[in-house]
Amino acid sequence: MSRSTALKPLREQVIVVMGASSGIGRETARRAAQRGAKVVVAARSPEKLAGLTAEIQAAGGAATAVTADVTVPEQVQHVAEHAAATYGHIDTWAHVAGIGLWARLEETTPAEWQRVLDVNLNGPAHAAMAALPHLRREGRGALIFVSSVEARLALPYQSAYSASKHGVGGLVKVLRLELQHDGLPISVTEILPSGTNTPIFDQARTKIGVRPKPAPPIYQPGIVADAILRAAEHPTREMVLGGVSKAGTTLQGVAPALMDRYLLWTGFRTQRTRIPKSAAAPDNLFQPLAVYDTVEGSLGDQARPVSLTAWLEMRPALKRVLAGGLLGWAALSALQTLRERRTE
């Protein structure tokens, strides 16, 4: 982030939410509007967007919708142009759009592989290309990419998804460096959620014989939406949401073979529900489904509404104080032990 990056309060912002028809994106748009932001929502389904904008407007918020597929650069460009034409500028672009595919690599077709990477990796690149000219003109702003803990880890059945999210991590790092080199006060944030109870699992194409689910623990979408809105006001490099994910990414860095053993033990079975679903069942890989215009998916009974580690991620000053206190306590304990040994 640039040294001088200072972002507006949400009530003064124009926020684009790409991937707003359901799940995290839908909840982000709702919460941003509740806090006074002018919201531009975009996704592939005009019907779902119409319902969302009507809900926001009925509650007294300001929202407009644009139908767009993130794999088509011209359509993403139109979203940015529509936002600027409607509200005068763009302050934050929150890119949430994504799709999933649950299948072993050898059962994945080239077309399926390409589609997942087009949406999950090319889509964020198209978004940055469309948003940056507007953020430059505004003189500041935020680009926020909702990635996944799979940008650091890799789960079985998700080769295309994991590859795409690893790619987003590289995209974000390069973009951040380029903007810092230019001295531009535009923050670039990568948010890495744990498994989240969104309709992605209900809509996804699966070749594992059952409806997939995220590896536990599972969290509600509002946790991620709050992280996005935090980053829209406070320049943030990244946020890993969920204690298990924090531990897993740390372990992956220091003991990858041990992490492999853990995922061999848990990664396959924990992603399987007991609900049969064939590969021929309707899915949203290439076309949106008419249903699932909701924030939450079907795992509400298993999802946690809060995460202490996510709460701390959104309060970096408090996290530093606690970390400093912990280090201080450890140092004092070590010093006390040393003194006791000297007196023996």
**Every domain of the chain and the residues it spans:** 10-313
- Annotation marks residue 161 as catalytic: yes
Under DSSP, the state recorded for 141 is E
Q: Which of 47, 15, 106, 96 is nearest to 293 (CA)?
A: 47
Active-site annotation holder among 87, 157, 161, 219: 161
pLDDT of residue 344 exceeding 90, the answer is no
Under DSSP, the state recorded for 158 is B
d(CA 69, CA 82): 15
Mean pLDDT, residues 112-130: 98
Mean pLDDT, residues 50-75: 98
201 and 299 Cβ atoms separated by less than 8 Å: yes
Q: Which two tokens stand for residue 60?
A: 């007294």
Q: Which two tokens stand for residue 109?
A: 């077709």
Write down the pLDDT at residue 2: 43
Write down the pLDDT at residue 107: 97
What number of other Cβ atoms are within 10 A of residue 54's Cβ? 12
pLDDT of residue 121 exceeding 70, the answer is yes
What number of other Cβ atoms are within 10 A of residue 330's Cβ? 10
pLDDT of residue 331 exceeding 80, the answer is no
Q: Which long-range contacts (CB under 8 A, 24 or more apart) does 262-267 make?
A: 263/153, 263/154, 263/155, 263/156, 266/215, 267/155, 267/156, 267/215
Give the C-alpha distances (Å, rounded to integers) separating 334 from 55, 279, 320, 326, 327: 57, 58, 21, 12, 10
pTM: 0.90
Write down the pLDDT at residue 317: 67
26 and 296 Cβ atoms separated by less than 8 Å: no
| Least reliable range by pLDDT among 1-15, 103-117, 218-232, 259-273 | 1-15
Which strand (E) or helix (H) includes residue 329? helix 316-343
Mean pLDDT, residues 164-169: 98
Task: State the fold for domain 10-313.
Answer: Rossmann fold (3.40.50)
Mean pLDDT, residues 180-208: 96
Q: Which two tokens stand for residue 40?
A: 């531009």
